[in-house]
Amino acid sequence: MKVLVVGANGQVGKHLVKMIQDSEHMEAKAMIRKEEQASYFNELGAETVVVDLEDDIETISQAYEGVDAVVFTAGSGPNTGPDKTVLIDLDGAVKTIEAAKQSGVNRYIMISSFDTTREAIQGAPSSFAPYVVAKHYADDLLRRTNLNYTIIHPGMLTNDEGSGQVEASEKVERGEIAREDVAGVILSTLENESTIGKEFQVVGGTQSIKEAIDSL
Ligand code: NAP
């Protein structure tokens, strides 16, 4: 299975591409936005494609050639304003969903935020609310497609070494999770077709990633 990783040069993305390359039955295609980011992926033997999420759907679709599944783990990050939140976390995500539909790439995994419900929008501090709104509507659109989607809602991301142990369920207590473990959760999700049509929250916990994903 060839997996297009959107946001491959990000912190979760880099872990994920490495794990995919180390796996037996998958290979990664890293979607990056600058040619100079390619060396990390070339060293892993992963293909790269240079596309910016501010490009149009047709350009983004070109990255889907030869691909069986898409993972969206891009994000505008905390150092830009609401303009980029709308352009990347909302419109960028929507364009990758539209590109998946147009390209016939049916498997789509969204890395969402922990809580993207309307209540979470109402309860968010004003500086965070645009991000929750963006994630809410991207998730909402994805649920309304016929794509084989899974929506992953991780807790607060840390750069701790992954423990390989998580708690995953439709609803879990708010908590932290290592980015490396999020990558492991994505890999297990790609490997397990029973996650199709599901969404779940995930934080650090006491169950192995495989067990946690298999028991969803
Ligand atoms: P990250 O390190 O900030 O990586 C984000 C990636 O998105 C970067 O590689 C960045 O590219 C890419 N990107 C930004 N704008 C782009 C554009 N215009 N075109 C193409 N790519 C673009 O993110 P992370 O910490 O790994 O987080 C992964 C995901 O988890 C994100 O979707 C985030 O919203 C979500 N999340 C985060 C938290 C949290 O606690 N932070 C919690 C739950 C979910 P460059 O490398 O070129 O900058």
Residue 25's pLDDT is what?
93
DSSP state for residue 155 in the 8-state scheme? -
Residue 88's pLDDT is what?
98
Secondary element (H or E) of residue 178: strand 176-178
The torsion angles phi and psi of 136, rounded to 5 degrees, stand at -55, -50
- Whole-number Å distance between alpha carbons of 56 and 43: 29
DSSP state for residue 79 in the 8-state scheme? T
Residue 132 confidence class, pLDDT cut points 50, 70, 90: very high
- Whole-number Å distance between alpha carbons of 174 and 197: 23
Residue 84's pLDDT is what?
97
Q: What percent of the chain has pLDDT over 90?
A: 100
Gyration radius of the chain over CA positions: 16
In the structure encoding, which two tokens stand for residue 78, read together?
Answer: 């905390």
What is the 9 CA–ligand 1 centroid distance (Å)? Answer: 8
- Express each pLDDT in 20-76 by its tens digit: 999 999 999 999 999 999 999 999 999 999 999 999 999 999 999 999 999 999 999
- Whole-number Å distance between alpha carbons of 102 and 205: 38
140 near 151, Cβ under 8 Å? no
Q: Which CATH class is domain 2-214?
A: alpha beta
Stated length of the chain: 216
189 lines ligand 1 (CB under 6 A): no
Residue 1's pLDDT is what?
98
Q: Which of 82, 195, 171, 196 shows the shortest CA–CA distance to 129?
A: 82
- Whole-number Å distance between alpha carbons of 87 and 75: 10
Residue 188's pLDDT is what?
98
- Whole-number Å distance between alpha carbons of 119 and 98: 27
Residue 16's pLDDT is what?
98
SS3 8: coil
111 lines ligand 1 (CB under 6 A): yes
Secondary element (H or E) of residue 17: helix 11-22
pTM (two decimals): 0.98
DSSP state for residue 137 in the 8-state scheme? H
- Express each pLDDT in 72-113 by its tens digit: 999 999 999 999 999 999 999 999 999 999 999 999 999 999
Residue 110's pLDDT is what?
99
Residue 55's pLDDT is what?
97
Secondary structure string (H, E, C) spanning 81-120 = CHHHHHHHHHHHHHHHHHHHHHHCCCEEEEECCCCCCHHH
Catalytic residue numbers read 131
SS3 158: strand
Of 4, 12, 181, which is best to mutate to test ligand 1, by the most ligand atoms within 8 angstroms of its C-beta?
12
Residue 199's pLDDT is what?
98
What is the 75 CA–ligand 1 centroid distance (Å)? Answer: 3
2 near 25, Cβ under 8 Å? no
Residue 50's pLDDT is what?
98
Of 37, 111, 166, which is best to mutate to test ligand 1, by the most ligand atoms within 8 angstroms of its C-beta?
111
